Amino acid sequence: MSAPVLVRQERQPAMPGAREVAPDVLRIQLPLDLPGLGHINCYVIPDRAGFALVDPGMPSTSSWRVLVRSLAEAGLPVRRCHTVLVTHSHPDHYGAAARLRQVSGAELVTHEHFKTYWDPHEEDDFVREVAVPGDYSAQMGAIENAMLRLTGRERHSPWDRPLPWGGPPPDNEWRERVRWRIVPLLRSRTWQPPRPSSRVRDGQVIRLADRDWQAVHTPGHTDDHLCLLDPTEGTFVSGDHLLPTITPHISGLTTQRHPLRDFFASLEKMFEFSEVRTVLPAHGLVFGDLIGRSKEIIEHHHERIATITNAALHAPGNELTVAEYSKVLFKPHSWGVMADSETFAHLEYLRQTGRAEARAVDGHLRYRILD
Ligand SMILES: [Zn+2]
Ligand SMILES: [Zn+2]
């Protein structure tokens, strides 16, 4: 008997049309062609004034056409969009936001921390507490360079500076591996970066579809990640914070100081929302058990930490490089900078909570797990 094949919902191609997935909430699936992702869910919330829309999809013409056509088929001409809400600063979510604003004059709502490569950054954004004895200043230089690159002082390519954990820029290997499709679109002359007109804080109330939605800040996947809760209907728009059959990427290449710690806190925050009956993720299908899924994802990251600890136990001096841990954590088809980046986030979490030490050897960080 062969083992059942787990179908990753997030990989499936976009389904056509608009369908109601929660009271007064329509879903339109827009095409995506990224590793592990075949579509993005755009949620449409109609009201008397027109409609609000969450995550308008990729900056590509093909995605835009599907969006406009699907809205029209649902009787919602694109010009009646009064609010665009973007859950977080990833291009598959904000890509069409500026275009939608141009066409409709809609407000653009994001979390107050929302930042893209095109926004100015403070010097403080780049300081990370990677305390490495010896090679400290060189290491900090590498981190700063990576951060500068990532956050857009030079916006052309985030991926061609040394990695903060050591090693050469991942540029070509990275692009080839992940078939990076977004960068050329963002470089096109017609594309505009998103400029929010309204930035909201955690707990702030947003009125959409004649009812109150609560902004829920959920840092982890990104620092500016925003979910939306409608406590009356028990509907929760989860963005990439909670996905049904994959876990969101937690990156070590970020300006967040504590990405994994923040993510754990944002998952635990879900335990308060027992009224939620319908979770609307940015990829994959609608699901119901907000708290159960949050617990599964917390458990998944604790399993990763246990795998790291176990790998260290069997290593000489109980220490390994980020790439070495990464090869234990991930299957060969996932090896590369994205896996290393997530591994780095886990190792930094262990170091920041006093369970690991790091030192630089020949330009590479080595993490030793403490008992
Ligand atoms: Zn994302
Ligand atoms: Zn996403």
Alpha-carbon distance of 94 to 228, in angstroms, equals 16
Rounded to two decimals, what is the model's pTM? 0.87
Q: Residue 34's pLDDT is what?
A: 81
Query: Is residue 342 within 8 Å of residue 333, measured between CB atoms?
Result: no
Give the CATH number of domain 133-187+298-369; options: 2.40.160, 1.10.10, 1.10.3470, 1.10.490: 1.10.10
Q: What ranges make up the beta strands (E) of the chain?
A: 18-22, 25-34, 37-47, 50-54, 81-85, 107-111, 198-200, 205-208, 211-217, 226-230, 235-239, 278-281, 319-321, 356-361, 364-369
Q: Do 133-187+298-369 and 9-116+193-287 fall under one CATH topology?
A: no
Residue 134 Cα to ligand 2 middle (Å) = 39
Contact partners, residue 179, CB within 8 Å, separation at least 6: 33, 34, 35
Tokens read off for 75: 């009787």
CA of 240 to the centre of ligand 1 (A): 5
Chain Cα centroid distance, residue 362: 32
d(CA 329, CA 227): 29
Which ligand minimizes its atom distance to the CA of 34? Answer: 2
How remote is the CA of residue 141 from the centroid of ligand 2, in Å? 30
The C-alpha atoms of residue 214 and residue 228 are separated, in whole angstroms, by: 6
Nearest ligand for residue 55 CA: 2
- Quote the ligand 2 centre to 356 CA distance (angstroms): 31
Domain ranges of the chain: 9-116+193-287, 133-187+298-369
Reading the chain (371 residues) residue by residue, the pLDDT tens digits are: 556 667 899 999 999 999 999 999 999 999 998 878 999 999 999 999 999 999 999 988 999 999 999 999 999 999 999 999 999 998 899 999 999 999 999 999 999 999 886 666 544 343 333 333 333 333 334 444 444 444 444 433 445 556 788 877 666 555 555 445 666 666 667 778 899 999 999 999 999 888 999 999 999 999 999 999 999 999 999 999 999 999 999 988 777 789 999 999 999 999 999 999 999 999 999 999 999 999 999 999 999 999 999 999 999 999 999 999 999 999 998 888 889 989 999 999 999 999 999 988 888 899 999 97
Ligand that comes closest to the CA of residue 251 = 1
- From the CA of 39, how far away is ligand 2's center (Å)? 9
* pLDDT score, position 360: 85
- CATH code, 9-116+193-287: 3.60.15.10
Residue 173 token pair: 């290997």
Q: Report CA(21)–ligand 1 centroid distance (Å).
A: 21
| Residues within 5 A (CB) of ion ligand 1 | 90, 240
Nearest ligand, CA of residue 221? 1
Give the Å distance between the CA of 246 and the centre of ligand 2: 11
